[in-house]
Structure 1
Amino acid sequence: MSKVPLSERKHIAFVGKRNVGKSSLVNCFVGQDLVIVSDIPGTTTDPVKKAMELLPFGPIVIIDTAGIDDISELGEKRVNKTMQIISETDFAIVVLDSQSHLSNEEMNLIELLNKYEIPFYIAINKSELGINYKLLEELNFRKLSFSLVSCKTGKGIYEFKEKIANLIPNEEEPPLISDLIKQHDIIVLVVPIDLGAPKGRLILPQVQTIRESLDEDAVVIVVKDKELRSALSILNQKPKLVVTDSQAIMRVNADVPDDIKVTTFSILMARHKGDLTEYIKGLQRIEELQNGDKVLIAEACSHHPQEDDIGKVKIPRWLRLHTKKNLEISFSNGHYFPSNLSDFKLIIHCGGCMLNRKAMLTRIKQAKFANVPIVNYGLAISYMHGALPRALEPFPEAKQVWELFQKKIPSFHQL
């Protein structure tokens, strides 16, 4: 369990106002002094994360956040950070003071959680000091579930942890590749080794694809793009599937016979982390771009750009060549979108391998709220290089959406 990547764990955020005991409750929850506890409001500044195993649920990430009611100049930035953390949260624990009542900040927080469809549970802390029964009436009136706990005496903590373990959503995430293959199938993974490849290791989507294929008892062959043709020629049976890096898709398509299915790591990730059909809808906007339109290229992680960086250099070049338009292209790095999202006509997003699925789905929702189509790197690259629909052949539902896209249905974005 300790080896489970953070992006594959459920994220549980403790949120609420300052000095309600969020950090104390986090320490009780994880069973150690993870964060500094103080009676001084605003002790927690940046979010604090801790990977742990919550029995009987499994591996999770606990997140302690700053108070949502800090009105100082620096506090406003802390509050924004807390609100942004919600985008990667699978489950939230709203911590209230037992002697208080529901404030406007807390109601706004609950509304935000409902807006992004994030399940939550309320912990009423400091119960040893007494209970404001008007608070309980408010919560009951709004049909909000809660538990009374005391970090000072430990009362209710064990029962609270058991409750949370049973409430965390445990729905099955879409598989990466396991539903496309079966035992003894031959899977060929094409992994180019170029300037963008990390020294001495593979990138996470490649590693995850290998592992999931091995879990299905498939036969996994990993080659560089230059060795693909040779590898195919020595096999005594056809591969079930060839998976390649998006940047090599055209070379791979040329080397792989038409009766063998081909897709990309990025398209696999689009389905596993995000919404493949929603990304396909975003492709139509590429054809609608006009001179002066703003396009956002968003990456979930920060890295030092390479000489021919995929996000900073290649995609902008390919996009301008494909559209033949003078576009205004902006870049964002990290887990959060810029505040002026509605100014953009299109978002081209990375595969999101460093995000958990909830964070990626929330980013798609944020794009929808701003009425901005979104597509991921791999799908956009495959489209602009003419590799679609072949790369969608393994995914019938996505292929159907693509066919609607090809018919140029006017209501395409409302599907």
Structure 2
Amino acid sequence: MAAERTPTGQRLHIAFFGRRNAGKSSLINALSRQAVSLVSPVPGTTTDPVRRPMELHPLGPVVLIDTAGIDDEGDLGRLRVERSFQVLDQTDLAVLAVPAGEEPGEAEERLVAELKRRGTPAVGAVTKADLDPAGARRQAARLEERFGFSFCACSCIGQPGVAALRQRIIAAAPVDPTEVPLLADLVRPGDLIVLVVPLDSGAPKGRLILPQVQAIREVLDAGGIAVTVRDRELPDALKSLGRRPALVVTDSQVFGTVNRAVPPEIPLTSFSILMARHKGDLAELVRGAQAIDRLRPGDRVLIAETCTHHQQKDDIGTVKIPRWLRERVGGELQFEWAHGGEMPEDLSPYRLIVHCGGCMVNRRLMLSRIRRAQAAGVPIVNYGVCIAHLNGILPRVLTPFREQGGMSGGNGG
């Protein structure tokens, strides 16, 4: 099924919040029509966020996220609450579950305040409505007035109201969480696009990495002609094409080699820079590149990767970029790494954050991390922008976006 092959980072993320035993897991099971989340009358059954990719017509591929109770207690409970709130960084739409007959308290007020601060759309569900259907409907009306977003009464026993909740989720969902294309707006019908794909030890056997596959698909969808070649065959490929490419897109790791091979009149950029615009805020990441020239030996640099791939011998994030930054600075730097969904709570000690392209996460999470860095006063740059700056070719590889007026990935999220 096509929806099952849609990458997680391209799906709408719908997260369910509420107290322990508020019925969040039951709602997810009812909406997905399958036993996605463990359900138990024991409070605190869900201890960590649980993600379930599925198809929700007409929204298409989505990820439903079940979270721990936002009222959990004790040292471990506070950690669970913290993890639940961290989910907000990637939440495109929130669903707040409030049990029938129970009044929301401080935990719900804190959550709603955070949703409003972030501009995250939300809907609410008065769960366990079968206990008192009329009372649950009156409660839903009161909560709509109190919190300022739609609530409906529903029960997972016989599922009355679940269809109504599904319709409210559909109505409240952002139109397109990945509204900025990867490169489709840079391609006209008939354009020849050359994609430079090095097949080093880190390349997955029998596969291309996600941004490369996505780029090929967008070129084809736009009516362009995609030519894929390794960096070592690029010079011969350019000679044999018969006409000038409209754009060359390369892996950032071979920027220097490709820049020398591609004549200056041919537009050039990288997959990582395309991702910076597609998933984040390209203009802000470009501003962050200026901080590379201000680094001094001993400065702390955070390198953040959203995926947890197996580290290779000459890994880009743990080996190459640190080596290139040391060479630029002329001394040792203090490097720290954040992998997967983790980021240090306090970013202020760092002089620079170097982030991966973010192909495995959604746009809201990338924008959230950029905004966190801004709030802490710490410059942030992504791999491709960083490498282009170190190679002295950043102005060149930004030319395709300036010509399109697309230097920023937007400020949503």
- Paired AA for residue 392 in structure 2: G
| Structure 2 residue aligned with 1:170 | 175
| Structure 1 residue aligned with 2:339 | 333
- The alpha-carbon deviation at position 79 of structure 1 amounts to 1.9
- The alpha-carbon deviation at position 179 of structure 1 amounts to 0.7
1:401 and 1:142 map into 2 onto residues whose CA distance is 36
Contact 2:129 2:155 in 1 (8 A): yes
- The alpha-carbon deviation at position 83 of structure 1 amounts to 1.5
2:216 and 2:172 map into 1 onto residues whose CA distance is 32
| 2:118 is the counterpart of 1:116 | yes
Q: After the TM superposition, which residues 18-57 of structure 1 pair with which residues of structure 2 at under 5 Å, given as runs?
A: 18-57=20-59
- The alpha-carbon deviation at position 283 of structure 1 amounts to 1.1
| Structure 1 residue aligned with 2:241 | 235
| Structure 2 residue aligned with 1:129 | 131
Greater shift in the superposed pair: 44-53 or 251-260? 44-53
Deviations 1:273-310 (CA, angstroms, capped at 9, x unpaired): 11100101111221222343211000001122212111
Greater shift in the superposed pair: 218-227 or 333-342? 333-342
2:230 and 2:256 map into 1 onto residues whose CA distance is 14
Alpha carbons of structure 1 residues 309 and 399: separation in structure 2 relative to 1, 3 Å: farther
- The alpha-carbon deviation at position 249 of structure 1 amounts to 1.0
| Structure 2 residue aligned with 1:362 | 368
Contact 2:13 2:93 in 1 (8 A): yes
| 2:274 is the counterpart of 1:268 | yes
1:387 and 1:206 map into 2 onto residues whose CA distance is 21
| 2:79 is the counterpart of 1:73 | no
Out of 218, 221, 237, the position equivalent to 1:215 is 221
Q: After the TM superposition, which residues 362-401 of structure 1 pair with which residues of structure 2 at under 5 Å, given as runs?
A: 362-396=368-402
Contact 2:13 2:90 in 1 (8 A): yes
1:200 and 1:82 map into 2 onto residues whose CA distance is 37
| Structure 2 residue aligned with 1:83 | 85
Alpha carbons of structure 1 residues 400 and 134: separation in structure 2 relative to 1, 3 Å: closer
| Structure 1 residue aligned with 2:153 | 148
Contact 1:84 1:336 in 2 (8 A): no
| Structure 2 residue aligned with 1:105 | 107
Gap regions ≥5 residues in structure 1: 403-415
2:95 and 2:147 map into 1 onto residues whose CA distance is 17
Alpha carbons of structure 1 residues 401 and 291: separation in structure 2 relative to 1, 3 Å: farther
| Structure 2 residue aligned with 1:308 | 314
Deviations 1:186-242 (CA, angstroms, capped at 9, x unpaired): 111111111222222111111110111111121111111110010011111111111
Contact 2:140 2:153 in 1 (8 A): no
1:61 and 1:397 map into 2 onto residues whose CA distance is 35
| Structure 1 residue aligned with 2:203 | 197
- The alpha-carbon deviation at position 398 of structure 1 amounts to 9.4
Contact 2:126 2:140 in 1 (8 A): no
Contact 1:392 1:399 in 2 (8 A): no
- Paired AA for residue 45 in structure 1: T
1:116 and 1:157 map into 2 onto residues whose CA distance is 27
Deviations 1:242-277 (CA, angstroms, capped at 9, x unpaired): 110111111111111111111101001110111100
- Paired AA for residue 149 in structure 1: C
- The alpha-carbon deviation at position 363 of structure 1 amounts to 1.3
3-state SS of the aligned residue for 2:155?
A: coil
3-state SS of the aligned residue for 1:341?
A: coil
3-state SS of the aligned residue for 1:122?
A: strand
- The alpha-carbon deviation at position 314 of structure 1 amounts to 1.0
- The alpha-carbon deviation at position 374 of structure 1 amounts to 0.9
Q: Percent identity?
A: 48
Deviations 1:383-408 (CA, angstroms, capped at 9, x unpaired): 01112211111011799979xxxxxx
| 2:166 is the counterpart of 1:161 | yes
- Paired AA for residue 269 in structure 2: T
Contact 2:16 2:24 in 1 (8 A): yes
2:256 and 2:88 map into 1 onto residues whose CA distance is 39
TM-score (normalised: structure 2): 0.92
Contact 2:71 2:107 in 1 (8 A): yes
3-state SS of the aligned residue for 1:124?
A: strand
2:324 and 2:72 map into 1 onto residues whose CA distance is 45
2:350 and 2:403 map into 1 onto residues whose CA distance is 28
Deviations 1:46-103 (CA, angstroms, capped at 9, x unpaired): 2222222212222111111111111133323322221222211111101111211121
| Structure 2 residue aligned with 1:288 | 294
2:48 and 2:407 map into 1 onto residues whose CA distance is 42
- Paired AA for residue 163 in structure 2: Y
Alpha carbons of structure 1 residues 399 and 225: separation in structure 2 relative to 1, 3 Å: farther
3-state SS of the aligned residue for 1:2?
A: helix
2:308 and 2:59 map into 1 onto residues whose CA distance is 31
2:187 and 2:51 map into 1 onto residues whose CA distance is 36
1:371 and 1:16 map into 2 onto residues whose CA distance is 33
| Structure 1 residue aligned with 2:411 | none
| Structure 1 residue aligned with 2:6 | 4
Alpha carbons of structure 1 residues 361 and 42: separation in structure 2 relative to 1, 3 Å: same
| Structure 2 residue aligned with 1:407 | none
RMSD: 2.0
- The alpha-carbon deviation at position 138 of structure 1 amounts to 5.5
For these two proteins, the number of residue pairs brought into alignment is 402
- The alpha-carbon deviation at position 326 of structure 1 amounts to 3.6
Contact 2:401 2:407 in 1 (8 A): no
Contact 1:335 1:355 in 2 (8 A): no
- Paired AA for residue 305 in structure 2: E
Runs of 4+ in 1 over 4 A off after TM superposition: 132-136, 397-402
| Structure 1 residue aligned with 2:254 | 248
Greater shift in the superposed pair: 15-24 or 279-288? 279-288
